[in-house]
Amino acid sequence: MVMMSSKLKKIVIAAVLFIAVIALIFKLKKQSYMEKLFQFLKSVEGLRLYAYQDVGGVWTIGFGSTVVNGQKVVKGMVISENQAYQSLIDWFKKNKMVYPRKNLNDNQMVALSSFAYNMGLTGYKKSAVYAYIS
């Protein structure tokens, strides 16, 4: 187990709880895990069908994808909503999610999947959130 300062532990707990609360607000109980994940990502990431630069200056499209159909997103790229969803599906097929515990409910898995999508799978596995939940 990774040792964390009390302040960092509180920040990690607050971040996880915040994401879980957002998932609960959307009342995602009657949907499949992937439907919940797509709805959640759409609500927090937004859906943009035209390429844009994210806060880090990286060209991004759809739900925050940097690659669509195996091609790096570039200025001027335009995709359909179906392509945006397919890009998201492709990311989760390529990056097999690993959950630190087996007894997570769908909303907790959605929160962790969203976190992994934003951090990248390697960043997610090295994160304090992953270490704390393990």
pLDDT single digits (tens) 5-28: 777 777 777 777 677 666 655 555
Model pLDDT, residue 8: 72
What gap in Å lies between CA 121 and CA 31, rounded to an integer? Answer: 24
What gap in Å lies between CA 25 and CA 9, rounded to an integer? Answer: 24
Residue 1 has pLDDT above 50, yes or no: no
**DSSP at 73:** -
Count other C-beta atoms under 10 Å from residue 91's C-beta.
19
Q: Which of 42-46, 95-99, 125-129 has the lowest mean pLDDT?
A: 95-99
Q: Does domain 6-16+27-133 have CATH number 1.10.530.40?
A: yes
**Spatial contact of 62 and 79, defined as CB atoms under 8 Å apart:** yes
Q: What is the pLDDT of residues 34-57, one digit of tens each?
A: 888 888 888 888 899 999 998 889
Domain residue ranges of the chain, discontinuous segments joined by +: 6-16+27-133
Q: Which of 12-16, 83-87, 129-133 has the lowest mean pLDDT?
A: 12-16
pTM of the predicted model as reported, rounded to 2 decimal places: 0.69
Q: How confident is the prediction for the chain on average, in pLDDT?
A: 83
> Which residues have a catalytic role annotated?
45, 54
